[in-house]
Amino acid sequence: MTPKKIAIIGCGRVGTSLAVFLSKAGYNVAGVASKTISSAQKTVQAILSIKGEGRNNSKEETINSQEKTNNSKDITSYEDVKLCISPAEAAISGDIIFITTPDNLIQNVCFEISSNPLVDISEKTIFHCSGALSSCVLASASDKGANTGSIHPLQSFAPYTLGQNSPFVGINVSVEGNEKALVIGKELISSLNANYFTIPTKSKTLYHAAAVVASNYLVTLENCALNLLKEANLSEDKAYTILEPLIQGTLNNIKTRGTIAALTGPVARGDFAIVEKHLKDIDEVLPNFSKLYRVMGDYTLKLAQKRGDLEQGSIDRLSEVFNK
Ligand SMILES: NC(=O)c1ccc[n+]([C@@H]2O[C@H](COP(=O)([O-])OP(=O)(O)OC[C@H]3O[C@@H](n4cnc5c(N)ncnc54)[C@H](OP(=O)(O)O)[C@@H]3O)[C@@H](O)[C@H]2O)c1
């Protein structure tokens, strides 16, 4: 195969991991640029090292790897990795361009590339990796005919270290964008041995909100539970050990039975007397948590009602308690 040329702009955690593991998958990472030359140099060295060419070249210029025959089917023959001094220079070197800067810079970097008269953006495909933003932030490129999309790995990336395992294997990655970008994005994700799923452009924000609720807000809720146990005289370490099997069991029930069937506890049983007792004690020891308990309780009641086995009297009493 003729490897597609990739350009990486932003040599941080995600950019470097993409550079290394796309390179390993047979793509030709042709150019890299970052804010600082030192980050771009590290990424070039990581790419060369993965190809078994780990030479210590730190010149601020094109680094040409020797033409060599490689037995691997993936890496065909000869690759240059260009250490670029600007996003535009990197963009010129690639057919597929990843803008892996922090989210708030993606739009500006894209504009910088698209408005540069030396870059013919029309035949290129541009991706960013933000979960919160859609491909719309790449409008300056799509307006000039480029394919645009976003590829968001549901993974927490640490800074890349030489020789580390791929953080992409087996993870789920969303892809969103125009039709051609979707096709290319799916190929890229599959080549990283990750699983892709598509998101409509207009739903990207909701998708990101879902990820925030599933991950970040779960942390917040567990923190509240630990604080309640602290008020019950248990140390935080011990409190977590005590709760962990319950948390894992609940996650397992959600996985096997779904959220409605997984729901247990006083709200699911319609036991308003217990809920009233909870709130009496919480109001006393953790008043900051009272509002959240009530809001969550009210939402949980709506979930419990979907099971269809709660008496109307219990529903009314619980609703009254939560909305007091
Ligand atoms: N980290 C994660 O777990 C994760 C997970 C999923 C998605 N993402 C997304 O991936 C993207 C990158 O995140 P990250 O965690 O890899 O960020 P990061 O580690 O902070 O790296 C960002 C890189 O962008 C470079 N940069 C800053 N301004 C630049 C500019 N004007 N031109 C070129 N390069 C510039 C920085 O360069 P220097 O190093 O040279 O200063 C840095 O290396 C973001 O959209 C983020 O939302 C991150």
Q: Each residue's pLDDT tens digit in the chain (324 positions)? A: 555 899 999 999 999 999 999 999 999 999 999 999 999 999 999 999 987 744 444 433 333 433 333 333 333 233 579 999 999 999 999 999 999 999 999 999 999 999 999 999 999 999 999 999 999 999 999 999 999 999 999 999 999 999 999 999 999 999 999 999 999 999 999 999 999 999 999 999 999 999 999 999 999 999 999 999 999 999 988 999 999 999 999 999 999 999 999 999 999 999 999 999 999 999 999 999 999 999 999 999 999 999 999 999 999 999 999 998
Write the residue with the smallest CA distance to atom 12 of ligand 1: 100
Q: In this structure, which amino acid lies at residue 251?
A: L
Q: What is the pTM of this model?
A: 0.88
Rounded to the nearest whole angstrom, what is the distance from the C-alpha of residue 10 to the centroid of ligand 1? 5
- Residues of CATH 1.10.1040.20 domain(s) within the chain? 207-322
Candidate from 8, 9, 35 with most ligand 1 atoms within 8 A of CB, to mutate:
35
Rounded to the nearest whole angstrom, what is the distance from the C-alpha of residue 104 to the centroid of ligand 1? 10
Rounded to the nearest whole angstrom, what is the distance from the C-alpha of residue 15 to the centroid of ligand 1? 7
Write the residue with the smallest CA distance to atom 33 of ligand 1: 34
Write out the H or E segment, with its range, that includes residue 150: strand 147-153
Candidate from 42, 60, 89, 101 with most ligand 1 atoms within 8 A of CB, to mutate:
101
Write the residue with the smallest CA distance to atom 10 of ligand 1: 129
Q: In sequence order, what DSSP letters do the residues of 197-238 get, joined into one string?
A: EE--GGGHHHHHHHHHIIIIIHHHHHHHHHHHHHHTT--HHH
For residue 90, with 0-12 CB atoms within 10 Å meaning exposed, 13-18 middle and 19 or more buried, which class applies? buried
Q: How distant is the alpha carbon of residue 206 from its chain centre?
A: 14
Residue-wise pLDDT tens digits, 239-291: 999 999 999 999 999 999 999 999 999 999 999 999 999 999 999 999 999 99
Looking up tokens 């069937």, which residue turns up?
Answer: 261
What CATH fold (topology level) applies to the domain 207-322? N-(1-d-carboxylethyl)-l-norvaline Dehydrogenase; domain 2 (1.10.1040)
What CATH fold (topology level) applies to the domain 5-199? Rossmann fold (3.40.50)
- Closest to 125 measured CA to CA, from 108, 150, 102, 154: 150
How much is the pLDDT for 115?
98
Residue-wise pLDDT tens digits, 200-221: 999 999 999 999 999 999 999 9
- Residues of CATH 3.40.50.720 domain(s) within the chain? 5-199
Report the nearest atom of ligand 1 relative to the CA of 38. Answer: 40
Rounded to the nearest whole angstrom, what is the distance from the C-alpha of residue 57 to the centroid of ligand 1? 23
Are residues 19 and 100 in contact, defined by beta-carbon separation less than 8 angstroms?
no
- Closest to 139 measured CA to CA, from 148, 131, 152: 148
Residues with CB under 6 A from ligand 1: 9-15, 33-36, 39, 87, 100-103, 105, 109, 128-131, 152-153, 155-157
